[in-house]
Amino acid sequence: MSSVDAKLRLRELHGQCKLTELEEAWLVRSLYREDRLSQPEIARRMSRHKSWVCRRLMLVEALDGMVQADVRLGLLAPRAAVAVSRLPRGNQPAASAVVTQRGLTVRQTELLVDEVLAQPHAHQRDALLARRLDDYALTKTPGRRATRTMRSDADWMSQDILRLHQIAARLQARLGSTPLAVFTPEAAELVHEALVRLSPVLRALDVTITAVTGEQDIS
């Protein structure tokens, strides 16, 4: 059978246990992006209204690729990912990390998302998610007890700078030693898309650092 028929058959085979919203969204995106079916045609072939197709596309395309990778790896429940999709894309990876590391339920994930969205400014959302990760790290450190101490902005900045140093060094080493060609095409595409999205973030951070410090890297 054709690629389109096979994908539609896949959905039928899950008639008893039902695909999750995110799994349906992946299927719809595949039909739309890869098989070039129009949204009305997808709706007709799946016996759904075209608004349903539109909502599924909006869901998957609003969800950060790193979060989708967590779902594929089984680290994040699909329903929890749907809740995370309500956040701005820049906050989604951090929220996914909080959920996976703390083992939050779907309901707890929804409450976390509500709490983050209640913050009016982007830096406040970032700080809240950083605190959640930091609280978890404290509870997992042997011999230490989680304490609620007030931290200054300088403390948070110092911690973020240290964390960025560690992550950047690890990522650079992995990229240098493991070419994308060794992965499956699907995994390579996910990593490639994530790297493409990361580049402008790093460039913007570099501009901000230069503006704050007044120094440029001339090496």
Average pLDDT over residues 40-53: 92
Of 3-12, 56-65, 160-169, 200-209, least confident by mean pLDDT is 160-169
Whole-angstrom Cα distance, residue 81 to residue 101? 14
Q: What is the mean pLDDT of the chain?
A: 83
In this prediction, residue 146 carries a pLDDT of 44
Q: Has residue 110 got a pLDDT over 50?
A: yes
Percent of the chain whose pLDDT exceeds 90: 26
Whether pTM exceeds 0.85 = no
Q: How confident is the model at residue 204 (pLDDT cuts 50, 70, 90)?
A: confident
pLDDT value at position 148?
46
Which distant-in-sequence residues (6+ apart) come within 8 Å of 86 by Cβ?
113, 117
pLDDT at 77: 87
End-to-end CA distance of the chain: 57
Whether residue 61 contacts residue 97, with contact meaning beta carbons closer than 8 Å, is answered with: no
pLDDT, tens digit (0-9, with 9 covering 90-100), for 141-151: 555 454 444 45
Considering the domain delimited by 3-62, tell me its CATH architecture: Orthogonal Bundle (1.10)
How far is the C-alpha of 133 from the C-alpha of 40, rounded, in Å? 43
Amino acid 17: pLDDT: 72
CB-based contacts of 98-104 (< 8 A; 24+ apart in sequence): 98/129, 98/132, 98/133, 98/136, 100/70, 100/75, 100/76, 101/133, 101/136, 102/132, 102/136, 104/80
Name the least confident of 17-26, 108-117, 148-157: 148-157
Question: For residue 217, what pLDDT is reported?
Answer: 57
User: Residue holding tokens 């759904």?
Assistant: 48
**Of 93 and 215, the one with more pLDDT:** 93
What is residue 206's DSSP assignment? H
Asked if pLDDT for residue 130 goes beyond 50, the answer is yes
**pLDDT band at 109; cut points 50, 70, 90:** very high
Q: In which residue ranges of the chain is CATH 1.10.10 found?
A: 3-62
Report whether 22 contacts 59 (CB < 8 A): yes
Q: Is residue 112 pLDDT above 80, yes or no?
A: yes
Are 30 and 7 spatial neighbours (Cβ–Cβ below 8 Å)? yes
- Mean pLDDT lowest for which of 8-17, 97-106, 147-156? 147-156
**Rounded Cα distance, 206 and 164, in Å:** 12
Kindly compute the dihedral angle of the four CA atoms of residues 17, 77, 172, 153, in this order, to the nearest 10 degrees.
Answer: 160
Lowest mean pLDDT among 64-68, 75-79, 172-176, 193-197: 172-176
Tokens 């995106």 label which residue? 29
